[in-house]
Amino acid sequence: MPEDRVLVSPRYLAGAGIDRLADAIGPLVHLFGWPNEHDRASGRISVHSPDGSLFVNFNSRHTHGRWWSLAHHEPYWEARFTWQTPIEAIAAVTQALPQLLDDDRHVDRIPLTTTPPLAQIAELNHWHREDDTFTSPDGHCHLQHTPAEDTPWRFRHHVYDGFDTHWDASFTQDTPERLVA
Q: What are the Cα distances from residue 83, in Å, to 14, 40, 58, 74, 87?
A: 12, 19, 10, 27, 9
Q: Which helix (H) or strand (E) holds 82?
A: none
Q: Categorise residue 37: left if φ over 0, alpha if ψ from -120 to 50, beta otherwise.
A: beta
Confidence of residue 174 (pLDDT cuts 50, 70, 90): very high
Poorest-pLDDT segment among 23-27, 116-120, 165-169: 116-120
Q: Residues 32-40: what's their mean pLDDT?
A: 94
- Compute φ and ψ for 126, nearest 5 degrees: 70, 30
Give 117-167 pLDDT, tens digit per residue.
777 888 888 999 999 899 999 888 899 989 999 999 999 988 766 566 688
**pLDDT at position 116 over 70:** no
- Compute φ and ψ for 72, nearest 5 degrees: -120, 145
Confidence of residue 2 (pLDDT cuts 50, 70, 90): very low
One-letter amino acid at 11 equals R
- Compute φ and ψ for 114, nearest 5 degrees: -120, 20
